[in-house]
Structure 1
């Protein structure tokens, strides 16, 4: 009451929409969005992902059409992930280095149809291995250095197909430096690297693994190379190492359960910092909205707004086209 008597009323600035806009501390725009897409074999093919309502696997021609939609909506970049069928998976993830694999064909189609759109590609072996792990296995161990050689080969075919941002999600030690050195040696100095620098061993990845066909293939878990969800200082050390190895941008994954990590990374390092609103986060919002438990549109915007408030420069989200339309509509 004493504050009121001295004239202090915090609610004054909240009374009207125009005033709220004037004092808003953070702004979400379409420039903050990266749209992840799943590519599959076939022509004119759209395969719904059951655990991700509203998300489809798209054939290469449909990916090209989606890229044109992204441009029309003003979305600056898309990220590609392949659905690899069992007959193209092997223990070495050999299909990852095939210059005519799904991702490479999709890169060429997107570059042909939308030359101004940023193309980001995942570098990890899990969509291609018969055991479902991000790296090569010797016995029960995911071997680090042999995996790096395979990741370098994978990155090179993607860049030669037209991708602009290499995004290693495997969490092997030293892979950023090795990929950077290989790119530079091949004359690809301008290709950017966005490191999945703080990628946690999360329960929120389940629908994604369904989308890329890795759920049934995965043997064991990924805790020997992905971060313990209860560790924060270790995440900062991972980010520091990737920056030292010349990562241009870093990512925290998942997003909402790790906003504290996004904040700490941005505050400590000041580098371009991204967050991935992963499949499980997307599925939770969609499931609750479809059951009438929450307002899905508002929850979607609130979630990505939280990433911006935590310090993220951009967000990878399957909601990207819906957010872009909502922002355009005002």
Structure 2
């Protein structure tokens, strides 16, 4: 679009900025509670709310407390919750069998949320790292993260989550071909209405550190994830990955991390027009919180500005740990 404008002083852009009422009338993007997905961490126990030190304000909650949090989120108008498990180290194995245990933490949390807050959509994480003694998203064989064997395990994990009542499956593993296999398995097992929100462009980023603490994966991880997560230098590759996942049956796609990759969000939305999401990851959240706690920035304004940036970049929604706080502000 090339705007047509009269020369100065006939055109004065500041005219539309003089009044709050007019600034609202000409605003191009708006943040609402409908844009929010709240990531939550579930752990074992009962009545537990355990702070995550590297993520101020974020808790690991036991299943009963996750259900209470879902009720709160529903009352705030937050449309979806995404579950991440903090798995007991004794359950982490080479074969990752806990990943598809019908009674693992994630699946118990799905059922608890659906019972307590039926209007909330429940999203899950599909990757082996919370259950892998090696800390990787896939199986490790002779030092290599193997693809096809991992995909078989991810399909079993997907079906277990669908059986538990998940509405949205979130594959975050970045293995090749997993979306097609998951979609075929869901279709053939009677779960045609379960959606897939693919982490289609997930970068090998330095911004994930606090999250790995939150799910207990930091100590287990051997090496790095650069053989399956994307090179931060690449942009065209992201479009190829998005196109592949959409053709394999993804309903929605995600870019992760968020703010350092707003250019990718914009390119994806403009190219495909598919429902496009970004994850404001733990490192982004922690930086805003740390700066706010040191009075270096206005935390509330920075939080809202950062989320509005995702909408401006073309995102239909954002996974953010700020979701409850933002919802309270937006509700007035």
Relative to the length of structure 2, the TM-score reads 0.98
* Mapping of residues 198-209 of structure 1, within 5 Å: 198-209=201-212
Q: Deviations over 1:81-126 (max 9, x none)?
A: 0001210101121110100000000001011111111000000000
* Structure 1 residue matching 2:331: 3-state secondary structure: helix
Q: Take 1:93 and 1:170, find their aligned partners in 2: how far apart are those partners?
A: 14
* Mapping of residues 63-78 of structure 1, within 5 Å: 63-78=66-81
| Matched pairs, number | 327
* Mapping of residues 40-189 of structure 1, within 5 Å: 40-189=43-192
Q: Take 2:14 and 2:153, find their aligned partners in 1: how far apart are those partners?
A: 58
1:265 aligns with 2:268: yes
Match of 1:280 among 264, 271, 283: 283
1:212 aligns with 2:215: yes
Q: Take 1:88 and 1:61, find their aligned partners in 2: how far apart are those partners?
A: 21
The offset of 1:3, in angstroms, is 4.1
Q: Take 1:272 and 1:165, find their aligned partners in 2: how far apart are those partners?
A: 13
Q: Equivalent residue for 1:26?
A: 29
Relative to the length of structure 1, the TM-score reads 0.98
The offset of 1:153, in angstroms, is 0.5
| Structure 2, gaps ≥5 residues long | 1-5
Q: Take 1:131 and 1:105, find their aligned partners in 2: how far apart are those partners?
A: 24
The offset of 1:4, in angstroms, is 3.8
| Structure 1, gaps ≥5 residues long | none
Q: Take 1:190 and 1:306, find their aligned partners in 2: how far apart are those partners?
A: 31
The range that moved more, 84-93 or 264-273, is 84-93
Q: Take 2:107 and 2:115, find their aligned partners in 1: how far apart are those partners?
A: 12
* Structure 2 residue matching 1:125: 3-state secondary structure: coil
Q: Take 2:96 and 2:311, find their aligned partners in 1: how far apart are those partners?
A: 36
The offset of 1:230, in angstroms, is 0.4
Q: Take 1:276 and 1:221, find their aligned partners in 2: how far apart are those partners?
A: 20
* Structure 2 residue matching 1:251: 3-state secondary structure: strand
Q: Equivalent residue for 1:250?
A: 253
* Structure 1 residue matching 2:268: 3-state secondary structure: helix
Q: Take 1:273 and 1:92, find their aligned partners in 2: how far apart are those partners?
A: 33
Q: Equivalent residue for 1:15?
A: 18
Structure 1 runs (4+) deviating above 3 angstroms are 2-5
Q: Take 1:58 and 1:31, find their aligned partners in 2: how far apart are those partners?
A: 24
1:317 aligns with 2:312: no
The range that moved more, 7-16 or 214-223, is 7-16
Q: Take 1:165 and 1:296, find their aligned partners in 2: how far apart are those partners?
A: 31
Q: Deviations over 1:215-274 (max 9, x none)?
A: 000000000000000000111111110001010000000000000000000000000000
Q: Deviations over 1:192-235 (max 9, x none)?
A: 00000000000000000000000000000000000000000111
Q: Take 1:187 and 1:161, find their aligned partners in 2: how far apart are those partners?
A: 13
Q: Take 1:170 and 1:151, find their aligned partners in 2: how far apart are those partners?
A: 9
